[in-house]
């Protein structure tokens, strides 16, 4: 398969050279399986095998691209794609800067994140995993939802500047399980990410679900009062906050276009809590990493924040070209973001609930529908969902109805941070829009932030 | 190809499938151009073709899709195998509501095919807009157009064969600028749908030029404005935000698959229950909402849905009372059975897939609010004591059951004693859905009603992006919290 893909790319390059077109070819192949559950049944069971080819043609400062869904046996169709891109670029308008076409110094291939047994899981295995993860937890009222998504992904590149290629192959799985009470409307969730089959562990999901289910079944829910709370965010909530910061925080392009809450004069200054360390670390295979970017730059651990001090923006090549900045190796489909663990010895929800506490703690595992109210201030808003708990200082536990948090990332990761859990968790942040792009971040299992405001409290879930 | 697909469908029927359909996309094309501060950052086109197969077996769905149509046997077998394993975990065996077999063609109305317009002409349009937007105070200026064209051939095991040819054009311009504290503000324009057409001709340079001037002026007013106060006021929503309010808190809340719990793992549920149909006072008596797939010029109209059901105009909320939902063949059967009463009389024709490689799910068509009796925008402002006019979607966040929401808008104009007094920045409002719609105190007449489109509605797993529309008037809601 790999040889056939690379040969196709070489054939396309030869065709572009023959036609006198400067071009880059980006190959994407996915084999995607998704078993979806709802109302305790399999509501959808689907498989898509898709090959996409994106062809970008260059002519001086002009650039145009053409993408097609195709097959390896359709070389003629792919060549026609090059012809179309070449025709488009003639009519394009020159950019105000010179776009960079990669010059790969040598061919590169990375399959270290590929496990054929994970990529080729059978329907029976997906179903058996789910059945084990929820064994004994469903009732007539408590219904199972969720997904078991797994597959394999290949990306490969060549361009007319050299005959060298880049090739990346990964396998991935994302499991989300939701148990929801059809009458009371509460919902709890547990999730897992894997890059190899050995990482799949239905029993650990079952343990988390069973613990929360016990709480939600036996504790009566409350509309909690508005006001300030010490909030403990769970890994998924931290992952979501990190993903939005990746978008409007340390991206150089966002900065230059006024979409960032960070500024150039903040480089080297302390912005966040000194417990906050953020690295883009492509050595962590759990993040489905790219060890080289599309431009052929080597990628290693890249500090973004160290002890709260802002170390660097990350640059996509096109932004670096436009704004005359040195690229940082971040022209990738996704980064490999890792927030370091902190000092607090707490790994599981059960341990969190049993921690001695001097104040009430509001545990929010999941932030639903986060959006940016004000990018320049890092102001985000979202609602709690899926298994929030109010851990009272007297040791009791209350199940709260959903609440809304509208806060700045500067506060959430700033001086109000009380502690981060030592234990880190892989949070799969893949979305299933468009081409498969398995993505995960590694974050502390919990993060406590004091004195955050709840701006809305529901009268029901 | 149709003959081969029909043969495969018959083969699976003979092998025991209850129902089979194929959606063959001979061609789907798109063309996207983005000019950012004068730079043609994106000049992209795409093309795909392929087929998606849906098989119902022992009450469960299986699906498979491929762009490779050489081995149809394998593709159909894969879909059947996927259904077989799904049939091992069935709680409510899927049934499909009755329908008529249909042989038909639908062509979206357009005068000029945007794919026949030269790239040079498209770029010239963007360049003209970019120059209009290049004014003092503007930090970023964006002009963009997206064109889509798809041909879909639908064949099912119940004798339907439908061809759809759909063209869409989505143009827009936007400016941003920073205030003296370095906070970014923006204003944007995309045209309401005028006339019964959807092609290149909807890009009216004169209309865009006028609006380019307006959005620059308004963005500069916002940059110099004071902050939106934090208090309760009447909010007057212009169509440029009312469409999204409708989308998020009527449209998504009334998708029947959400109501039945089929989206719980991802997008969420709905506060609406089956008991609520015919009983719940969703809004004040001024609120009438409908799912109307017959609006000619909107992407929410597509002739026949991906179950092969013809376009319909269905009431959702009748003078405040909840009466209908956004439905497809599968969900209406399950809802009626679960409710033990016939809430829905057949499919509402709203089952759609975004591409050949995705399965159809309930999607909004055109979720519209009927115009009301409260006159023009000026009339509504004149009759408002303490209010704020809001426009332009900036941010939106909605509770998982659509029970509450928080929106930020690009601009706000304070209203005091029937007069617009000043522009404010960082305007936001929030509320609880049913309470909010029951505070609806004025609905503008036809002069305020506009058809807006949404080209990026996300739903489902694997995720699907859908295009649809909203015809909405100016609406006023009372005692709403703003500025938080
Ligand atoms: Zn939507």
> What CATH number does the domain containing A156 carry?
3.30.2290.10
Q: CB under 8 Å to A384, separation ≥6 — which residues?
A: A364, A366, A367, A368, A400, A402, A403, A404, A405
| CA dihedral over B335, B336, B342, B344, signed as positive or negative | positive
Q: Are residues A76 and A118 in the same domain?
A: yes
Q: Are residues A345 and A312 in the same domain?
A: yes
The matching CATH number, chosen from 3.40.50.620, 3.30.2290.10, 3.50.50.60, 1.10.10.10, for B2-224 is: 3.30.2290.10
Q: Looking at residue A402, what DSSP letter applies? A: P
Mean pLDDT, chain B, rounded, equals 97
Q: Are residues A36 and A183 in the same domain?
A: yes
Q: Does A236 touch chain B (CB under 8 A)?
A: no
Range in A73-77, B195-199, B278-282 with the lowest mean pLDDT: B195-199
- Residue closest to B372 by CA, chosen among B445, B427, B304, B294: B445
User: What is the predicted pLDDT for the residue at A296?
Assistant: 97
Question: Which residues from chain B sit within 8 angstroms of residue A64, using beta carbons?
Answer: 43-45
Nearest to A145 among B41, B89, B265 (CB): B265
Q: Cα of B266 to ligand 1 centre, how many Å?
A: 13
Q: Are residues A191 and A247 in the same domain?
A: no
* H or E element, residue A46: strand A41-59
Q: Does B330 touch chain A (CB under 8 A)?
A: no
For the record, the structure tokens of A404 come out as 């809304």
Question: Which whole-number Å values give the CA distances from A76 to A12, A80, A83, A90, A383, in the listed order?
Answer: 10, 6, 11, 22, 50
Contact B43/A89, CB-based, under 8 Å? Answer: yes
Question: Which residues from chain A sit within 8 angstroms of residue B62, using beta carbons?
Answer: 45-46
Mean pLDDT, to the nearest integer, of B380-403? 97
DSSP labels, B221-288: HHHTSEEPPSEEEEEEE-HHHHHHHHIIIIIGGGBHHHHTTTTTTTT---S--GGGTTT-B-S-TT--
Q: Are residues A203 and A263 in the same domain?
A: no
CA distance B137 to A316: 27
Q: Does B115 touch chain A (CB under 8 A)?
A: no
> What residues of chain B, 395 to 424, have a C-beta less than 8 Å from chain A?
395-401, 403-404, 406, 408
Looking at per-residue confidence, does B155 or B195 come out higher?
A: B155
Our count of domains for chain A comes to 2
Nearest CA in chain A to B81: A123
Q: Are residues A88 and A177 in the same domain?
A: yes
Q: What are phi and psi of B12, to 5 degrees?
A: -70, -35
CA distance B470 to B131: 30
Q: What are phi and psi of B256, to 5 degrees?
A: -65, -30
Q: Are residues A234 and A146 in the same domain?
A: no
Q: Are residues A284 and A319 in the same domain?
A: yes
Q: Are residues A206 and A263 in the same domain?
A: no
Q: Does A317 touch chain B (CB under 8 A)?
A: no
Q: Does B69 touch chain A (CB under 8 A)?
A: no
Q: What are phi and psi of A287, to 5 degrees?
A: -95, 10
| Domain boundaries along the sequence of chain B | 2-224, 227-482
For the record, the structure tokens of A272 come out as 């966040």
Q: Does A51 touch chain B (CB under 8 A)?
A: yes
Tens digits of residue pLDDT in B99-130: 999 999 999 999 999 999 999 999 999 999 99
Q: Cα of B455 to ligand 1 centre, how many Å?
A: 9
Interface test with A, best of B392, B404, B409 (most A CBs within 10 A): B404
User: What is the predicted pLDDT for the residue at A434?
Assistant: 83
- Residue closest to A209 by CA, chosen among A189, A228, A234: A189
Q: Are residues A239 and A384 in the same domain?
A: yes
Contact A38/B262, CB-based, under 8 Å? Answer: yes
User: What is the predicted pLDDT for the residue at B429?
Assistant: 98
Task: From A196, A218, A240, give the residue that closes a domain.
Answer: A218
Q: Are residues A209 and A228 in the same domain?
A: no
Q: Residue B195's pLDDT band (boundaries 50, 70, 90)?
A: confident
Tens digits of residue pLDDT in B338-367: 999 999 999 999 999 999 999 999 999 999
Question: Which residues from chain A sit within 8 angstroms of residue B82, using beta carbons?
Answer: 45-47, 123
Tens digits of residue pLDDT in B402-447: 999 999 999 999 999 999 999 999 999 999 999 999 999 999 999 9
Task: From A218, A244, A272, give the residue that closes a domain.
Answer: A218
Q: Residue B282's pLDDT band (boundaries 50, 70, 90)?
A: very high
User: What is the predicted pLDDT for the residue at A184?
Assistant: 86
Interface test with A, best of B399, B425, B436, B460 (most A CBs within 10 A): B399
Q: CB under 8 Å to A317, separation ≥6 — which residues?
A: A100, A293, A294, A295, A327, A331
User: What is the predicted pLDDT for the residue at A220?
Assistant: 83
Q: Are residues A182 and A305 in the same domain?
A: no
Task: From A218, A243, A273, give the residue that closes a domain.
Answer: A218
User: What is the predicted pLDDT for the residue at B177?
Assistant: 98
List B281's β-bridge partners, or say none. B321
Q: Does B41 touch chain A (CB under 8 A)?
A: yes
Give the residue numbers spanning the domain of A22.
2-218
pLDDT at B196 over 90: no
User: What is the predicted pLDDT for the residue at A108?
Assistant: 98
Mean pLDDT by 10 residues, chain A (461 residues): 97 98 98 95 93 98 97 95 97 96 97 97 96 97 97 98 98 97 91 97 96 90 95 98 96 95 97 98 98 97 98 98 97 98 96 95 96 95 94 94 96 98 97 90 98 92 80
């Amino acid at each position: 398969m790999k040889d056939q893909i690379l040969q196709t790319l070489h054939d396309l390059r030869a065709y572009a050279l023959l036609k006198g077109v400067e071009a880059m070819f980006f190959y994407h192949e996915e084999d995607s399986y998704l078993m979806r559950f709802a109302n305790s049944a399999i509501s959808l069971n689907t498989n898509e095998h898709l090959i996409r080819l994106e062809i970008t043609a260059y002519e001086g400062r002009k650039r145009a691209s053409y993408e097609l869904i195709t097959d390896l046996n359709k070389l003629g169709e792919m060549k026609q794609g090059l012809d179309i891109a070449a025709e488009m670029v003639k009519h394009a308008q020159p950019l105000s800067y010179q776009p960079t076409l990669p010059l790969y110094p040598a061919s590169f291939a990375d399959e270290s994140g590929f496990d054929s047994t994970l990529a080729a899981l059978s329907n029976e295995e997906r179903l058996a995993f789910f059945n084990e993860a929820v064994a004994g937890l469903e009732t007539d009222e408590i219904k199972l939802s969720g997904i078991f998504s797994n597959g394999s992904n290949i990306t490969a590149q060549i361009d007319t500047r050299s005959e060298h290629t880049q090739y990346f192959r990964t396998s991935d799985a994302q499991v989300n399980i939701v148990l929801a009470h059809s009458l009371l409307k509460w919902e709890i969730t547990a999730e897992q990410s894997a890059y190899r089959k050995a990482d799949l562990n239905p029993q650990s999901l079952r343990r988390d679900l069973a613990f929360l289910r016990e709480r939600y079944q036996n504790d009566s829910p409350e509309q909690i009062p508005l006001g300030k709370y010490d909030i403990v965010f769970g890994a998924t909530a931290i992952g979501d906050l990190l993903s939005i910061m990746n978008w409007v925080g340390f991206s150089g392009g966002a900065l230059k276009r006024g979409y960032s809450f960070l500024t150039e004069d903040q480089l080297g200054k302390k912005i966040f809590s000194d417990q906050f360390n953020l690295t883009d670390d492509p050595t962590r295979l759990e993040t489905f990493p790219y060890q080289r970017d599309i431009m052929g730059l080597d990628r290693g651990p890249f500090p973004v924040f160290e002890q709260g001090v802002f170390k660097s923006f990350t640059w996509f090549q096109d932004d670096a070209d436009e704004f005359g900045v040195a690229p940082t190796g971040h022209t990738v489909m996704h980064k490999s973001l890792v927030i370091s663990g902190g000092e607090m010895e707490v790994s599981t929800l059960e341990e969190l609930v049993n921690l001695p506490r001097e104040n009430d703690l509001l545990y929010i595992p999941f932030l639903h529908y986060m959006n940016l109210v004000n990018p320049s201030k890092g102001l985000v808003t979202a609602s709690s969902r899926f298994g929030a708990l109010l851990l009272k200082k007297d040791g009791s536990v209350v199940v709260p109805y959903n609440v809304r948090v509208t806060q700045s990332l500067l506060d959430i990761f700033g001086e109000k941070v009380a502690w981060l859990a030592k234990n880190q968790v892989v949070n799969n942040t893949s979305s299933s829009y468009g081409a498969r792009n398995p993505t995960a971040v590694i974050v502390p299992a919990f993060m406590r932030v004091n004195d955050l405001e709840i701006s809305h409290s529901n009268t029901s879930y | 190809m149709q003959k081969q697909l029909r043969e495969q469908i018959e083969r699976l029927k003979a092998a025991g499938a209850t129902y089979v359909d194929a959606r063959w996309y001979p061609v789907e094309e798109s063309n996207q151009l983005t000019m950012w501060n004068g730079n043609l950052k994106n000049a992209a086109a795409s093309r795909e073709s392929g087929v998606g197969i849906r098989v119902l077996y022992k009450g469960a769905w299986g699906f498979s899709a491929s762009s490779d149509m050489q081995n149809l046997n394998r593709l159909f077998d894969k879909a059947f195998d996927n259904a077989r394993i799904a049939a091992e975990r069935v709680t409510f065996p899927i049934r499909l509501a009755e329908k008529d077999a249909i042989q038909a063609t639908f062509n979206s109305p357009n005068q000029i095919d945007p794919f026949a317009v030269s790239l040079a002409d498209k770029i010239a349009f963007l360049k003209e807009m970019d120059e209009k937007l290049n004014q003092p105070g503007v930090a970023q200026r964006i002009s963009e157009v997206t064109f889509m064209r798809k041909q879909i051939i639908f064949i099912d095991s119940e004798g339907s064969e439908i061809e759809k040819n759909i063209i869409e054009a989505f143009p827009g311009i936007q400016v941003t600028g920073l205030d003296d504290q370095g906070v970014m503000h923006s204003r944007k324009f995309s045209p309401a749908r005028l006339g019964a057409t959807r092609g290149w001709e909807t890009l009216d340079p004169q209309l865009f030029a006028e609006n380019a001037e307006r959005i620059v002026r308004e963005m500069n007013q916002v940059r110099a404005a004071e902050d939106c106060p934090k208090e309760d006021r009447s909010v007057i929503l212009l169509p440029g935000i009312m469409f999204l309010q409708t989308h998020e808190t009527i449209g998504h809340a009334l998708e029947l698959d959400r109501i039945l719990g089929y989206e719980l793992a991802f997008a969420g549920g709905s506060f609406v229950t089956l008991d609520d149909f015919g009983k719940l006072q969703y809004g004040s008596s001024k609120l009438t909402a409908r799912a109307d797939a017959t609006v000619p010029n909107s992407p929410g109209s597509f002739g026949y849905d991906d179950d092969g059901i013809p376009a319909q105009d269905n009431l959702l909320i009748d003078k405040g009372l909840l009466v209908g939902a956004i439905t497809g063949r599968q969900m209406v059967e399950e809802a009626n059975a679960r409710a033990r009463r016939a809430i829905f009389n057949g499919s509402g024709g709203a089952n759609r897939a975004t591409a050949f490689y995705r399965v159809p799910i309930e999607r909004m068509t055109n979720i519209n609010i009927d115009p009301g009796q409260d006159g023009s925008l000026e009339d509504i402002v004149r009759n408002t004591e303490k209010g704020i006019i809001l426009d332009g979607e900036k941010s939106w966040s909605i509770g998982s059951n659509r029970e509450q929401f928080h929106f930020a808008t690009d601009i706000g104009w304070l209203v005091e004693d029937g007069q617009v007094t000043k522009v404010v920045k960082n305007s936001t409002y929030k509320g609880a859905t049913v309470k909010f719609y029951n505070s609806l105190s004025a609905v503008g007449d036809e002069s305020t009603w506009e058809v807006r489109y949404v080209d990026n509605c996300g739903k489902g797993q694997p995720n699907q992006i859908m295009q649809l529309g909203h015809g909405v008037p100016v609406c006023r809601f009372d005692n709403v919290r703003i500025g938080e």
